């Protein structure tokens, strides 16, 4: 079974493609019944239907190829609840030779162009009643700029933002907020001179209070009996304020810190003010709040450290021991902010260019749940920053931005399947029905989730449970339907419906084994492990992973009890222990030598990536280039390092070109520039070209590192290799070693076998 081909058709990856029929037997699988769903995955030949969907009157599922149709009486039976539904007049000519697109057996995924927002798909957002035909203004973009940035960095940042503003569609709404110790909200509608509203940065003000101070409160206007159409200049179409916002950005001034102190930054107050602007001026537009900062918040809500440099910023150890006095309060503030963002379909992006931490760990929750982007870089002058910012505002040859806002995903299941929750960039809307399990995992307690934005690669993990009340029959089929409603970049409402069918299978059935997708299973276990790190220490999470793997191996391995040498795993399961080995050593679980901000970034990225990207993060790829032949994949092992080869290492966040000592020496002597050594020149060019291709296709752009064997930068490669040769091993001449106390993959597997055969 080719799971990648199935994913290209459905946009789904199932760790188990057949499920046991009872709750107890499904619990024995260790990896829970689950689905990785990419809502907007590009699907070839996707039908785009110019009418509203036909929904079941009982369970709200949408007409799909698995529905039974009675052509004579013009009635269809819902495969989820078995309710019979009449076809409306528009389907009058339906017959087995005249089927609508949604009933074609090959169309498990279809997309509807909605004329309105059907009641069954409405979210809690104010955009739920959005009518594209009446839309005049586009989406909103508020730029929140740190005015305490170093001068050359500030200049580069302003140039990039000006470039972005120049590329925006004329109907896009823009706003500008800058901050230091105070928050400056710029009036872009006042052209006589620069005009700003100054807010105190050390106070946590409500949205209503901020709007009152700015004169944009609709409630205040109603009390005074004034017109509801607000005349304001804080959020205006680009066509009306391009000159003013350009001038305001160019005239932004810097604020320097006192000697021995950090600059005073009211980051949280500035973000709150930006949200209040959109809430007051364009509550139905959706949009992005883009924060550009070069240091931590030191005053007001969201503060994580004092200005005095004698107080160091919190570390993982401080967070665990309770010596981070501002962390919990900052997290609480940003969690409240995330609900405001979700209610108005707003995205929070963070671009942090600093050698120190900026408080990204505390800001992770609203960034992740809103679907925002987090970038941690060293400088605003880097190519990484420029490429990422321009990618966000990519139009791809169209007259609108390639952004989709105000998305909701609704899941409908057959009665034997219960929904535990979702892991990924979404928020639960707390809409319960009989399909919702009592057990909550991640964003649970609902059948509907909200996302402020959706990209084509955004991937959500849905965890399910086999019902204890309903007994499923083996060999029968169960169904799950995913309904994704979103506002397209052109302003129109769309609904993508994906319906999937899988079979119940007996616990010992070969179907269970044949349907195991070990790559999807590793991705699910990684997300579950990250979810556990929110409550448990990293060591406890590693113990949990180890226990799960032992149970899994004991369940699906073939062995003679108490004989480790007899242990075997079939090819369908053989790579899974290896994935778990590299996961437990990865920066997602083992936070040693990582700052909290870096850990937050890594976990946020893993939580939204699909199977392919996630696997590269868990178990990086390694290719070898030599004069003996074309590039070949090699083991992610220290033994792959040799003096006469070049290695190309891809861990998703870093791409490393590693030159063996001989190759590095030849390069240093300039042999590659000698026409008589053409082969060497081509050998050096090949990994450069492949590395460039890897870097180009990925957002955020990974850091490209070139290093020589035994060089300091080689640590990026050595840290992720299997330490099969260490300082404790018997050394062979010329072999590379890793100085570590970690066990190698071979020792790990031997211990696993010994524990698994104990039953």
Pairwise CA distance, residues 547 & 543, whole Å: 6
Beta strand 621-626 with 646-650 is: antiparallel
Alpha-carbon distances, residue 406 vs 65, 370, 390 (angstroms): 28, 10, 22
Q: Which of 78, 71, 73 is nearest to 57 (CA)?
A: 78
d(CA 710, CA 662): 12
CA angle 519, 524, 526 (to 5 degrees): 95
Q: Residue 524: helix, strand or coil by DSSP?
A: helix
CB-count burial class (<10 Å; 0-12, 13-18, 19+) for 575: middle
CA distance 14 to 18: 9
Crossing angle of helices 576-585 and 745-756, rounded to 10°: 120
Kind plus residue range of the DSSP H or E element containing 411: strand 404-413
Joined tokens for residue 232: 């304001």
Alpha carbon of residue 205 to chain centroid: 30
- Residue 123: the pLDDT is 45
Distance separating alpha carbons of residues 14 and 8, to the nearest angstrom: 13
Q: Which helix H or strand E contains 156, and what residues bound it?
A: helix 151-167
Residue among 207, 141, 146, 198 at smallest CA distance from 175: 141
Residue 144 pLDDT exceeds 50: yes
Could you read off the pLDDT of 442-500 as tens digits, one per residue?
A: 999 999 999 999 999 999 999 999 988 767 777 699 999 999 999 998 889 999 999 99
Please name the residues in contact with 697: beta carbons below 8 A apart, sequence gap of 6 or more.
Answer: none
Token pair in block for residue 56: 């079941």
Residue 97 and residue 64: Cα distance in Å, rounded? 16
Residue 411 clears pLDDT 50, i.e. is over it: yes
Give the distance between the most distant pair of CA atoms in the chain: 88
- CA distance linking residue 393 with residue 290, whole number of Å: 12
pLDDT at 2: 87
Residue 305 pLDDT class (50, 70, 90 cuts): very high
Rounded (10°) angle between helices 518-533 and 576-585: 30
Percent of the chain with pLDDT over 70: 94
* Residue 350 and residue 375 in contact, taking contact as beta carbons nearer than 8 Å: yes
Integer Cα distance of 617 and 640 in angstroms: 19
What are the strands, taking DSSP E only, across 488-570?
493-504, 558-560, 563-568
Beta-carbon-side half-sphere exposure of residue 431 (alpha carbons within 13 Å): 16
Own/partner pairs for 694-698, CB < 8 Å, 24+ apart? 694/650, 694/655, 695/655, 698/652
**Model pLDDT for residues 395-409, shown as the tens digit of each residue:** 766 678 889 999 999
Range with the poorest average pLDDT among 136-150, 329-343, 415-429, 524-538: 136-150
Minimum mean pLDDT range among 99-103, 188-192, 247-251, 609-613: 188-192
Buried b (16+ CB within 10 A) or exposed e, 649-673: bbbbbbbbbbbbbebbebbeeeebe
Q: Which residues share a beta bridge with 650?
A: 621, 655
Going from the C-alpha of 602 to that of each of 383, 613, 651, the distances in angstroms are 20, 12, 11
| Gyration radius of the chain's alpha carbons | 28
Confidence check: pLDDT of 228 > 80: no
Residues 376, 385: Cα–Cα separation, whole Å: 9
| pLDDT attached to residue 116 | 67
| Predicted pLDDT at 694 | 92
Average pLDDT over residues 554-561: 94
Question: H or E element: which one contains 647?
Answer: strand 646-650
| β-bridge pairing 448-454 and 427-428 | antiparallel
Determine the pLDDT at residue 732: 63
Residues 474 and 21: beta-carbon distance below 8 Å: yes
Q: Which segments of 352-410 does DSSP mark as H helices, in order?
A: 360-369, 383-392
Q: 720 φ, ψ to 5°?
A: -105, -5
Bridge partners (DSSP) of residue 289 are 142, 348
Q: How far is CA 439 from the centre of its chain?
A: 24
- Put simply, whether the predicted model's pTM sits higher than 0.85 gets the answer yes
The H or E element spanning position 539 is helix 538-556
Select from 333, 285, 330 the least CA-distant residue to 175: 285
Higher local confidence (pLDDT), 215 or 35: 35
Beta strands in 154-298 (DSSP E): 173-179, 182-186, 196-200, 236-237, 287-293
Tokens in use for 58?
């009982």
Q: What pLDDT is stored for residue 229 in this prediction?
A: 55
**Distance (Å, whole) CA 468 – CA 413:** 15
pLDDT band, very low/low/confident/very high, at 747 (cuts 50, 70, 90): very high
Least confident of 8-17, 113-122, 643-652, 653-662: 113-122
Q: Across the chain, what does the average pLDDT equal?
A: 91
H/E run at residue 485: strand 477-487
Query: Can you list the positions of beta strands (E) in 78-200?
Result: 84-86, 109-114, 140-146, 173-179, 182-186, 196-200
What integer pLDDT is reported at residue 209 of this predicted model?
A: 94
């Amino acid at each position: 079974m080719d799971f990648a081909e199935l994913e290209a058709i459905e946009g789904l990856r199932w760790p188990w493609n057949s499920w046991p029929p009872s709750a107890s037997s499904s619990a024995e699988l260790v990896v829970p019944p689950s689905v990785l769903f990419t809502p907007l995955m590009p699907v070839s030949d996707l039908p785009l239907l110019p009418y509203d969907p036909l929904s079941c009157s009982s369970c709200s599922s949408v007409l799909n190829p698995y529905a039974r149709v009675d052509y004579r009486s013009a009635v269809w039976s819902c495969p989820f609840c078995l309710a019979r539904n009449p076809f409306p007049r528009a389907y009058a000519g339906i017959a087995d030779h005249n089927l609508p697109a949604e009933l074609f057996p090959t169309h498990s995924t279809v997309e509807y162009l909605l004329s309105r927002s059907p009641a069954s798909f409405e979210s809690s957002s104010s955009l739920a009643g959005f009518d594209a035909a009446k839309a005049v203004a586009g989406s909103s973009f508020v730029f929140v700029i740190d005015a305490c940035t170093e001068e050359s960095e500030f200049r580069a940042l302003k140039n990039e933002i000006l470039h972005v503003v120049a590329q925006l569609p004329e109907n896009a709404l823009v706003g500008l907020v800058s901050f230091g110790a105070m928050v400056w909200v710029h009036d872009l509608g006042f052209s006589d001179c620069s005009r700003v509203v100054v807010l105190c940065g050390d106070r946590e003000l409500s949205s209503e209070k901020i709007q009152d101070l700015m004169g944009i409160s609709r409630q205040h206007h109603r009390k005074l009996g004034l017109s509801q159409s607000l005349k304001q200049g804080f959020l205006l179409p680009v066509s009306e304020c391009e000159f003013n916002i350009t001038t305001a950005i160019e005239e932004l001034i810097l604020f320097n810190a006192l000697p021995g102190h950090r600059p005073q930054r009211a980051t949280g107050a500035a973000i709150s003010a930006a949200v209040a602007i959109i809430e007051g001026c364009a509550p139905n537009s959706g949009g992005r709040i883009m924060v550009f900062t070069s240091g931590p918040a030191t005053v007001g809500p969201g503060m994580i450290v004092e200005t005095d440099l004698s107080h160091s910023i919190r570390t993982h150890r401080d967070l665990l021991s309770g010596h981070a006095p501002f962390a919990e309060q900052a997290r609480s503030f940003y969690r409240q902010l995330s609900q405001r963002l979700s209610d108005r379909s707003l995205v929070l992006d963070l671009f942090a260019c600093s050698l120190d931490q900026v408080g990204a760990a505390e800001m992770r929750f609203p960034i992740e749940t809103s679907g925002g982007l987090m970038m941690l870089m060293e400088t605003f002058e880097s190519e990484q920053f420029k490429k990422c910012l321009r990618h966000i505002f990519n139009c791809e040859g169209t007259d609108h931005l390639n952004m989709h806002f105000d998305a909701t995903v609704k899941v409908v299941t057959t009665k034997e399947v219960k929904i535990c929750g979702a892991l990924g960039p979404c928020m639960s809307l707390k809409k319960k029905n009989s399909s919702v399990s009592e057990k909550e995992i991640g964003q649970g307690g609902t059948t509907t989730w909200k996302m402020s934005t959706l990209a084509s690669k955004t991937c959500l993990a849905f965890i399910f449970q086999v019902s204890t009340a309903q007994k499923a029959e083996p060999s029968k089929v169960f169904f799950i339907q995913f309904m994704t409603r979103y506002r397209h970049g052109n302003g129109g409402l769309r609904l993508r419906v994906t319906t999937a069918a899988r079979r119940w299978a007996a616990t010992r059935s070969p179907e269970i084994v044949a349907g195991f997708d070990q790559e999807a299973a590793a991705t699910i276990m990684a997300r579950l492990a990250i979810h556990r790190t929110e409550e448990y220490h990293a060591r406890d999470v590693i113990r949990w992973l180890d226990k799960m793997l032992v149970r899994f191996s004991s369940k699906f391995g073939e062995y003679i009890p108490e004989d480790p040498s007899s242990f075997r795993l079939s090819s369908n399961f053989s790579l899974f222990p290896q994935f778990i080995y590299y996961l437990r050593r990865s920066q997602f679980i083992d936070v040693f030598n990582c700052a909290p901000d870096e850990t937050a970034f890594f976990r946020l990225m893993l939580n939204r990536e699909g199977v392919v990207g996630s696997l590269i993060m868990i178990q990086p790829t390694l290719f070898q280039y030599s004069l003996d032949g074309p590039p070949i994949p090699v083991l992610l092992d220290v033994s792959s390092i040799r003096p006469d080869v070049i290695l190309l290492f891809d861990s998703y966040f870093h791409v490393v070109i590693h030159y063996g000592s001989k190759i590095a020496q030849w390069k240093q002597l300039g042999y590659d520039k000698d026409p008589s050594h053409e082969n060497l020149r081509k050998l050096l060019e090949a990994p450069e070209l492949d590395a460039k291709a890897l870097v180009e296709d990925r957002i955020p752009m990974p850091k490209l590192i070139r290093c020589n064997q035994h060089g300091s930068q080689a640590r990026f490669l050595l840290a992720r290799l299997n330490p099969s040769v260490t300082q404790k091993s018997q050394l062979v001449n010329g072999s590379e070693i890793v100085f570590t106390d970690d066990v190698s993959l071979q020792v790990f597997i031997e211990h696993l076998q010994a524990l698994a055969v104990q039953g």
